[in-house]
Structure formats: structure tokens, C-alpha cells
Homo-oligomer: A and B are copies of this chain.
Amino acid sequence: QTLKIGMIPADGIGHEVLPAARAVLLALGSSIPKPEFIDLNAGFEYFTRTGTALPEETIRVLTEECNGAMFGAVSSPSRRVAGYSSPIVALRKKLDLYANIRPVASVSGTPGSDVDMVVVRENTECLYIKEETQIMTPNGKEARATRLITERASRRIGKMAFETALSRGKQNPVLTIVHKSNVLSVTDGLFRETVRGVPQLEEVQGRYDGVKIEEQLVDSMVYRMYREPATFDVAVAPNMYGDIISDAAAALVGSLGLVPSVNAGDNFVMGEPVHGSAPDIAGKGIANPIAAIRSASLLLTHLGHLEPAQKINDAVDAVLREGKVLTPDLGGRSRTQEVLDEVLKKM
């Protein structure tokens, strides 16, 4: 039995951190089915060479052959480029990976705020449907984008968020719904009401009764995350707010280079570090591999391999706690390879 994992480094430091994820998966030995990696194309670099950002073949292999995937990071062109559209946004939508789950937790005894939260971001709609138009008027150009919020997508992300809240084994789980319904009473109103309604659904049968529901307007959420970071448990948000608050959470733990995610659907899951392609440091061998390594761990968790996943996390935490082998984003001087070696040593 093997674990077929599609590997899509995409752009920039994606090429430097995915090999680290691969190495830790291999180091788990027989505690997981033997991983087999399939290298797949996508990204802005690939687009500039071929005119395609996300080849059909990548989608085909992922859906037909793989048990899961790892994605690196994408570069965004600094100007609008005809025909280019973000392959990560497209991948999330095409594979219906409707939940972007982003756990952000500080390691006790390391610098940074005391945080232990999970952002559950809706991953398929909101402004990310990219329905945009532009017209010319006597007063100049006018552009419009559509923001879509559906009951169906809000309900399934709501369920995922309640499940996440239960899965953490906290005594008093709290789910914070992030929205801006004081302005967007219809769209964010629908999101809020639908998520609030999840515990009453017949099929969940009281399962979420122990989860306390709170709400925060998105502006206030960003404010509070910095003022009272330790007070949040699980937060659920429409796509764009989720994008923003997960970066806010990453700042609290000291570096985007630490924060993993999975893009999860009902049939497929793809690990992805939350950081971008970091063109400023790409190619220098100093990218922090921890976000990618933790994303591999999260991928395993979602595939049901809980113990091996924990083993990776424990090794990473030990490296961070020792604080001797750190990349520059954490104030250290070590290289990607050195951090990887240290993690492997602790495993």
C-alpha cells in the first residue's frame, strides 16, 4: 500500500520548502503507507514558460491518481498579466477544497504572543469567485466585482468549523464567527445566520451543543487578535476575511514561515504553507521550511494518520523550543537544509 502525494512546488520558495515536507514524510518510515511523490506543474513561473498557470494534467493526476497533495506557493505578477489567474485559487475551486484550515499556535517558551487558534476559512466563494467587469463611463472606468455567499457553502464550512472546535479537545470550545454584517447585512447576514444554524440541523443531533458561539466584526477581530490573542479558539470566516485574519494570526506567532494549512474537501486534501513565494529570498536557501513541514503533518492528520502527524509536530516544537537552529525570519542564521536536518534529528 502506498500514499500517492501530488507535489506542486509552484513558485519561488515553494521549490525550497516542499522538498523538506517530502523528507519528513519519508522519515516516518513504516508508520505510514510508503509515500510516493508525483511532481506536478502549476504557477506563475510555469505560466511564463508555457502560457498556462494550471495545466489540465495536474488536475487529472491529482483527482485520478493521488491520495493527497502538497502545494508550495504562488507568485503574483506585479502588474495584471493577460490570461494569468492564480492557480491556487483555481485549484481550491476545481477540487472543491472548500475549507482552508489554518492552525496558529505559539510554542510555549518561545517568543511571540500566547496563541492557540485555528482559522477555518471558506475557500470557494466570496470575492474569490472572480466575477469582475469593467465599463467605460463619461466619468471614467468603473469596475465591479461580485461577492457570493451561499447557504450551502456557509453550512458546510460551518460544520467543518464546529468539527474543528470539537476535535481540539478543549474543555470549553468557542467558535467565533467573523463577518461584517453591520454593512453587508444580506451576504454576511446569510453567512452568520447559516453558521449559527448549524447546531440545530437535524443530522448533527446535539453534537455541537457544547460549543459556545461568539461573533466578531472583521475589523474588531483583527484588533482583538492583537489585544487579546489568547482568547480565541476557532474562528470561521468567509474567504477574504479568512485570508486577512490568518495573516494577522501568523504575525502573532512571529512568522508566516511557521503557519501551515490544509485545503480540505470531502474527497481530497492538500497541504499548503500559508506564506507566499517570497521572491526577495527565493533561491537563497534560507526559507523557513517549518510551515511546509507542519502542512505535511496536517495533511497526514486529515488522511487519518494521527500519530505520525504528531511525531512531526513534536519534532518541530522541540526545534523551536531549543531555538538554536532557526532561519532568518525567526531571527536565526540557519539555512532551510539545516532546519530540516534538525527536525529530522528530533524525529
Contacts and interface: CB of A to CB of B under 8 A. Distances in A.
Interface string A293-326: 0000000000000000000000000000000000
Most chain B CB atoms below 10 A, which of A86, A148, A182: A182
Contacts of A140: 150-152, 155
B244 A226 contact: no
B76 A217 contact: yes
Contacts of A150: 139-143
The complex is assembled from copies of this chain, and their number is: 2
Interface in A121-161: 127-128, 130, 132-134, 139-152, 155
Which of A130, A215, A219: most chain B CB closer than 10 A? A219
A240 interface: yes
A218 interface: yes
Nearest to A86: B182
Contacts of A227: 251
A270 B225 CA distance: 29
A183 B226 contact: no
A184 B144 contact: no
Given A142-B150, A150-B143, A247 B276 contact: no
Interface string A246-257: 111011100010
A52 interface: no
B276 A250 contact: no
A181 interface: yes
B132 A186 contact: yes
> A217, A225, A226: which has the most chain B beta carbons within 10 Å?
A226
Interface string A2-43: 000000000000000000000000000000000000000000
Contacts of A292: none
A147 B144 contact: yes
Given A140-B152, A226-B252, A186 B145 contact: yes
Given A222-B248, A248-B223, A251-B226, A145 B147 contact: yes
Which of A89, A130, A145, A240 has the most chain B CB within a 10 Å cutoff?
A145
Given A76-B182, A150-B140, A244 B222 contact: yes
Interface in A77-98: 77-78, 80, 85-86, 89
A189 interface: yes
A186 B133 contact: yes
Interface of A: 76-78, 80, 85-86, 89, 127-128, 130, 132-134, 139-152, 155, 180-187, 189-190, 194, 215, 217-220, 222-227, 240, 243-244, 246-248, 250-252, 256, 276
12 contacts: A80-B189, A130-B185, A132-B184, A134-B190, A142-B148, A143-B150, A143-B187, A143-B190, A144-B149, A219-B244, A223-B250, A225-B251
